[in-house]
Amino acid sequence: MRPYLSAAVLRLLMLIVCVISHVAAGKTLDVAVGWTKPPYVIADGNTGFELDLVRTVFDSIGHEIIPIYVPYGRSHAMLKSGMVDLTLTMNNKLDIDSNKLSDVYVTYQNVAISLRSADLQLNSVSDLQYHTVVAFQNAAVVLGSEFKQAINQSRLYIELPDQQKQVEMLLLGNTALVVMDINIFRHISKELKGTDQTDNVDFHYLFPASPYRAGFKDLEVKNAFNLALQNFMQSDQYEWLKYRYGLK
């Protein structure tokens, strides 16, 4: 029996071929990437879930990426000024033309985290105003107006580009709360302490999931990426990549 491809699959394959044929093959693309934030980005070795995913997608259409590590707050400015071909971990709340943003390729779950010994009770985002808070860079933009209003009333609020310092400050008791992705906290805290720290902290699920996209300088490259991304995310390789980095 001959293998059978549905009409929908055939149309998708033809569309991928048509779009890719309009994008010059063999490009080398400079990619602005935030500082190390395992499991998503690991600068030592140019790896991590996001980098491996984006690299694999571009490999499938004949392009190579060169990561350029910068503080997260500078990434979108580098794209707007044309200094890089694309940036990772962008969303619609940042100052980027939405037409230049790819489809969603990764989703973070940001949470507020406190030491269990502090026994903090948080019922809403507005409760953050009563505590010291250390967040990731651009959190006041990414997490929305209610978060911004709460931290404006906080006794102390700072944003740090180095997320390891966030974790260190919490574990040393130098802040009541950190706001960051739950997987980043789990990886960094385990690296710092040698053991899983989730039993020593409380996770406060105050925020919805945060979907992220890549920002592109060239719209044709973005369109080719989107089509190849759709194909990759339906593959066993994508499921294996999530398993490798402990993502669900």
Choose the CATH number for 24-107+210-244 among 1.20.58.410, 2.40.128.20, 3.40.190.10, 3.40.50.300. Answer: 3.40.190.10
Q: For the ranges 6-10, 16-20, 165-169, which has the lowest average pLDDT?
A: 16-20
CATH, domain range 110-204: 3.40.190.10
Say yes or no: do domains 24-107+210-244 and 110-204 share a fold. Answer: yes
Q: What's the whole-number mean pLDDT along residues 64-83?
A: 92
Tens of pLDDT, residues 133-156: 999 999 999 999 999 999 999 999
Residue 105 has pLDDT above 70, yes or no: yes
pLDDT higher than threshold 50 for residue 23: no
- pLDDT for the residue numbered 9: 54
Type and span of the H or E element at 73:
helix 72-80
Residue 31 has pLDDT above 90, yes or no: yes
Cβ neighbours around 99 below 10 Å, total: 8
Q: What is the pLDDT of residue 95?
A: 84
- Tell me the per-residue pLDDT of 114-136, one tens digit each, with 9 for 90 and over: 999 999 999 999 999 999 999 99
For residue 1, pLDDT beyond 50? no
What ranges do the domains of the chain cover?
24-107+210-244, 110-204
Query: To which residue do tokens 């569309």 refer?
Result: 15
